[in-house]
Structure 1
Amino acid sequence: MITKLALLATGCALALTAQAQAQELPARVKDAGKVTIANQPNYPPMEYKDPATNELKGLDIDLAMALAKQLGVTVAWADIGFEQMVSSLATGRVDLIHSGMSDLPKRRDNLDFVDYMKSGAQFYTTEANKDLYKSPIDFCGKTVGMSRRTSFPDEAAKWSAKNCEGAGKPALVVVGTEGSADARTQLKQGRLDGAVQGSETLPYLVALETGSYQVVGEPFTAVFQGMGFAKKDTELRDAYAGALKALMASGEYKTIFAKYGLEGAMLDGIMINGEAVK
């Protein structure tokens, strides 16, 4: 009986929390009963479309749906190119961005981030070239591709300045590609010696295409990924922070990350713009 009462009390508390968060939503969101989220589904396992059903899937998708449910709203997805996401948010076309976006200081001029996971840039190559590139330093002087829409080209150049040029070795030749899929295609074609992707995606990629790729070394950056909100939209930002805190407390946050084998990318608490908050 005590256990049942305790469970009932917990359920009531969560319901009250959800109601309180719904009250904190901006009037436009409450009136619409939905949030419009910018997402480009080309970054598995974070976001992608099932080729058989065309259904959106991925960690970001599952987390976004759980957060919306916690807030008592539905989700309308807006498939928007990564480079247009910030402008779409500024013009009100979308309410937030949830699409594998890194919380970088330079982006905070226009956005506030509710961080939800750890990430990092990591080198990889083809399985056929694994003996040529056993450590990241082996890529010095070699051609390495990565999505030009991300922070990876700048981060790779900084890594090269310290670890290649700084050690008297030739610089990394950074090639900005049209996306991570384009980098993989060029890598398979032999036009690239290596590539860079987020560390959260590589285990999925290696498992999906068995015998195709080899991860090289550890991530050479450490960043947070976050949901992006307009600077003026603090009400929605804080409502999402509260909803994420509730998912962490209930265990649903961990369940979602475990589904994709990314427990190591979880955060211990709520962070806004890289800073811990209560």
Structure 2
Amino acid sequence: MLKLLLCASACMVAATAHAELPAKFAEKGKLVVANTPNYPPMEYRDPATNELMGVDIDLGAALAKQLGTEIEWSEIGFEQMVSSLNTGRVDLILSGMSDLPARRETMDFVDYMRSGAQFYTSTKNAAEIKEMTDFCGKKVGMSRRTSFPDEAAKWSAANCEANGKPALEIVGTEGSADARTQLKQGRLDGAVQGSETLPYLTELEPDTYVIIGEPFTEVYQGIGFSKQEPELRDAFAAALAELIKSGEYKAIFDKYKLAGSMVDAPLINGEAVK
């Protein structure tokens, strides 16, 4: 567990009336937040300094400052996050998590970004794979811990099998980095990642990957909260609304070249805040 001080003592002022932490969290003086820093540009470590960086890290800092508190980042495996939230080991999740209907059964989300699953391939495969249906019958890797395998299977049924083409051969990987490694090794023909990660990826490793087509799903990324803490959820929704109004939210997304992924206003479980 790594504690990252996000607000100096001079910032420890009362939150605004519009975005105020519930008393029990304000009294603690910090929020424990689950994060897995392996999903650039959402969360990652600077190779030179080992410092936490990314959209979620900057957004978490801004939200903490808005609410007059600190964040203690708890680095845990993605598959352990929901159980950690619901057993009280962490107060919330801010780690590139998609707001999916199945997840809403056990948690609530404040949605802050648009996303979608998107295909890409290696430059050496680009002559053969030029459009999305060229992946039919090919080996395509994606993190087994995400919703991507199920979503890719649905896409394949509608776009490959329904048109008499062979199905995608979906390969579950140990995260997106593993998929990229296998793609570069020639063990995969393509891969799937969140659309928000691919511009960063192609800039980080130029002339290595080619994005194919448009995202084939639409989903929001959300901050996850226990259903037992609606007041905390609502405080974050209010704080996010204030960051959007002030322009600080836009500045964060512009920094990581993700202006196209911004939302106009916070959503709770995919719905407009009442």
Q: Which has the larger radius of gyration?
A: 1
Question: Matched residues, percent identical?
Answer: 70
Instruction: Give the aligned partner of residue 4 of structure 2.
Output: none
Tell whether 2:42 aligns with 1:71.
no
* Cα-Cα RMSD: 1.4
Match of 2:188 among 168, 187, 192: 192
- One-letter code aligned to 1:263: A
Higher helix share: 1
- The equivalences for 1:161-180 within 5 A come to 161-180=157-176
- One-letter code aligned to 1:20: A
Distance 2:14 2:99 in 1: 27
Q: Deviation at 1:27?
A: 2.8
Q: Deviation at 1:214?
A: 0.4
**TM-score, with structure 1 as normaliser:** 0.92
What residue ranges of structure 2 are gaps of 5+ in the alignment?
1-11
Kindly provide the CA deviation profile for residues 226-259 of structure 1, in whole angstroms up to 9, marking residues without a partner as x: 0000011101000000000000010000000000
C-alpha contact (below 8 Å) 1:18/1:243 kept by paired residues: no
Tell whether 2:134 aligns with 1:134.
no
Tell whether 2:262 aligns with 1:239.
no
* Count of residues paired in the alignment: 263
Distance 1:186 1:37 in 2: 31
Structure 1 residues 269 and 16: CA distance shift in structure 2, 3 A: farther
- One-letter code aligned to 2:61: M
Distance 1:39 1:145 in 2: 23
Q: Deviation at 1:166?
A: 0.8
SS of equivalent to 1:211? coil
Q: Deviation at 1:18?
A: 3.0
C-alpha contact (below 8 Å) 2:108/2:227 kept by paired residues: yes
Tell whether 2:103 aligns with 1:122.
no
Q: Deviation at 1:52?
A: 1.1
Match of 2:200 among 183, 200, 204: 204
Q: Deviation at 1:102?
A: 0.4
What residue ranges of structure 1 are gaps of 5+ in the alignment?
1-14
- The equivalences for 1:42-53 within 5 A come to 42-53=38-49
Distance 1:233 1:40 in 2: 22
Match of 1:275 among 257, 271, 274: 271
C-alpha contact (below 8 Å) 2:15/2:21 kept by paired residues: no
Distance 1:262 1:223 in 2: 15
Q: Deviation at 1:25?
A: 1.8
